[in-house]
Amino acid sequence: MTSQHDGTRHAGKVPQEKPGFDIAISGRHIAKKFGHVQALTDASVTVHAGEVVALFGDNGAGKSTFLKTLLGMIKPDAGEFIVADQEVSFQSIRDAQERGVEAVHQDLALAPDLSVVDNMFLGNELLSRGLLGRLGVLDRKEMTERADQALRDLSIKLPSLKVDISALSGGQKQALAVARAVMWGHTAVLMDEPTAALGARQSAIVCDLMRTVAERGLGVLVVSHDLPRVLKVADRVTILWRGTTALESPAADLTVPEVVATMVGYGKDAAA
Amino acid sequence: MSTAISPKSKASEPEIDPDLRAVKPQSLMRRLFRSTGSYILVLDVLLIIAFGFASNNFVFWSAQNVQALLINGTEALLLALGLAMLLGAGAFDLSIGSNLVLSSVLGASTIKALAGAPDAAGNYPNLGVAIALGAVVCVATGVVYGIVNGILIAYFDINSLIATLGTMGVGTGVALVITQGGDITGVPIPLQEHFGLASFLSIPYPTMIAVVAAIALFLLLRFTRYGMRTLALGSERTSAERAGIRVKPQLVSLAAIAGGLCGIAGFIDISRYGSTAEAGHVQDPLVAITAVVIGGTLIEGGRVSIIGVIWGTVLAVVLQTGLIIIGVPSFYQLIAVGLVLIIAVGIDRYRVRHRGDR
């Protein structure tokens, strides 16, 4: 054994050839009940490789719960999941990560006291070769080079890779969180409100990142309230209404008012 | 908000456009201020100079007193190191003194039971085996004690202060039950002569163990995956969980390390005194927490300074010993250490407030 590097994950490598799957991630007919609250009744979404899918819904529609079931953080009561064309059943977020599904959480899930490099590799650390690696010693040089490359690939500029990320701005942290997810995700990247804390220009940058990621052959699923911006960047739209998928449609066919109408009024239409 | 809506207000753009804002390089003063350890080292030196001049015939600087300082500092350092590791992950340990006592009681019992009766010349029949097994029992007791703490904190989700306060009571009680309230005396004298009070190049053997432990933990935190994950866990537990780190086993293992260090300190305790010292470790958590916090380790976790722990321990021990040597009644030591702790935490709060986003 000459290398302690973790061979099972594609550390920062850009897949050159077309990915060998059609459906990046999909959840069909997902249901979940918390006590007396039916958070999800019949939620479905499908993200194909190379596609940005927007998941819209009013507050309380079950978007976050749905995202968490896709990541294995919550176990649903019913429904099935497909990742990279294969049916899966995740027991934890680690299972999702092993299948190349990564997330950008709304709170970013970064460790403020760790450096940019350490944050990029948290949970996927590279160990030195040989004896030192067997003792758990990190290969920070290699980690720094790969983190630098991964950030460059996405045109993300940070002042230094060695600073604690508590020294970074909100936009920089957001970009870092996206870069980390892209670095380790090789099937799909799920983003929960990636533009919520950002100014106009950062939001545009993050939306560009979504496209960049999709162009690499990954599936991108983005939960957002930023309808105009995300509608522009998305290929398809899925709208959740009270735990049920109300609409799956190409984004080009939709306008913001139509999306809003479906988000808040789907049930009324159905009843009428 | 009104300025953000208006597209014309270019003046407010830096406010809503943080991505362009680079990280300001920190001034030399600020960087020095950040590394509290160097501050404390200066304070240590000043105190050592001051106590030297204040003591009769400069006895504070005598080789004898320096050795006493080293050996006093050894146990304190071992306990503080374990505590620092746990604090790095955001957990407290109040049971370190009690762990030390229980480990020393079980270790001393083992040694006495196995060593046999000494002959006329004071030679014990099974001394080597007895001491080796005694050391193993001390460390094993400490590790098990730590694992119990860790399981309570990680798996039962009990606040670490409460969990270790509880195990402190249980551990002390068990030790007292075993000894029927007294101390175990008459641990074979060769243990003192050849280890506990022995030294090489004027450095006591026990001190060397503590220094080796400090170096090992420094390397562990700085260069290994384990250390990085520990700090990530203390920095933001949910982030560590979402990064796929097994947070609970990590906490248990850290508590086991801290417990093992208590066990080593327990063995050093019986080696020094030739007996257990059950009443002598009530203040250990106070001293250890003081040493760790004044050294610059954040009590929220995420940042540990092992060098700071060393200088902090020196400060606590120099303060205690120095006050005795210049003739201040020993009760005042506690007051001094307590005040230092409160001042240190006050400074720590100030730093956290001025770090920005926490």
Confidence band, pLDDT 50/70/90 cuts, at residue A5:
very low
Residues of A with CB under 8 A from a CB of B: 93-94, 97, 103, 105, 107-114, 118, 122-125, 127, 135-138, 140, 159-160, 163, 166-172, 175, 199-202, 205
In a domain, B294, yes or no: yes
Beta-carbon separation of B239 and A137 below 8 A: no
CB of B304 less than 8 A from some CB of A: no
Interface contacts (A, B; CB < 8 Å)? 105
Question: pLDDT at position B22, please?
Answer: 46
Question: What stretches of chain A show up as alpha helix (H) in DSSP?
Answer: 63-70, 93-98, 116-121, 130-134, 140-153, 170-184, 200-215, 227-233, 256-271
Name the 3-class secondary structure at B252: helix
Give how far Cα B259 sits from Cα of B82, B83, B149, B263, B307, Å: 7, 9, 9, 6, 20
For residue range A165-223, list pLDDT tens digits in order. Answer: 888 877 788 888 888 888 888 899 999 988 877 777 778 888 888 888 898 889 999 99
The residue among B21, B31, B225 with the most chain A CBs within 10 A of its CB, best to mutate, is B225
DSSP run (H or E) holding A24: strand A23-34
Question: pLDDT at position A37, please?
Answer: 85
Say how far apart CA A165 and CA A150 lie, in whole Å.
17
In a domain, B26, yes or no: no
CATH 3.40.50.300 for the A21-100+185-272 domain, yes or no: yes
Confidence band, pLDDT 50/70/90 cuts, at residue A97:
confident
Say how far apart CA A114 and CA B228 lie, in whole Å.
8
Say how far apart CA A80 and CA A71 lie, in whole Å.
13
Give me the CATH number covering residue B226.
1.10.3470
Q: Do residues A42 and A17 lie in contact, with contact meaning Cβ atoms separated by under 8 Å?
A: no
Our CA-based measurement puts residue B215 at a distance from the nearest CA of chain A, in whole angstroms, of 15
- The parts of chain B modelled with pLDDT lower than 50 are 1-23, 356-358
Our CA-based measurement puts residue A204 at a distance from the nearest CA of chain B, in whole angstroms, of 11
Domain that holds residue B190: 34-353
CB of B22 less than 8 A from some CB of A: yes
Question: pLDDT at position A10, please?
Answer: 45
For residue range A7-66, list pLDDT tens digits in order. Answer: 444 444 444 455 678 889 998 999 888 888 888 888 899 999 999 999 998 888 888 889
In a domain, B18, yes or no: no
Domain boundaries, chain A: 21-100+185-272, 111-184
Beta-carbon separation of A201 and B17 below 8 A: yes
For residue range A98-127, list pLDDT tens digits in order. Answer: 888 998 888 778 888 898 999 999 888 888
Residues of chain B positioned with their CB less than 8 A from the CB of A204 = none
Q: Do residues B229 and B245 lie in contact, with contact meaning Cβ atoms separated by under 8 Å?
A: yes
- Considering only the beta carbons, identify the residue of B225, B238, B244 that sits closest to A127: B225
Residues of chain A positioned with their CB less than 8 A from the CB of B31 = none
In a domain, B349, yes or no: yes
Closest residue on chain B to A102 (Cα)? B243
Question: How many structural domains are present in chain B?
Answer: 1
Residues of chain B positioned with their CB less than 8 A from the CB of A138 = 223-225, 228
Closest residue on chain B to A175 (Cα)? B19
Going by the DSSP 8-state scheme, the letter that residue A138 receives in this structure is B
Question: pLDDT at position B325, please?
Answer: 86
φ, ψ dihedrals at B115, nearest 5°: -70, -25
Could you tell me which residues are beta bridge partners of residue A86?
A: A83
Residues of chain A positioned with their CB less than 8 A from the CB of B354 = none
Going by the DSSP 8-state scheme, the letter that residue A58 receives in this structure is -
pLDDT (average), residues A256-266: 80
Length of chain B measured in residues: 358
Beta-carbon separation of B231 and A114 below 8 A: yes
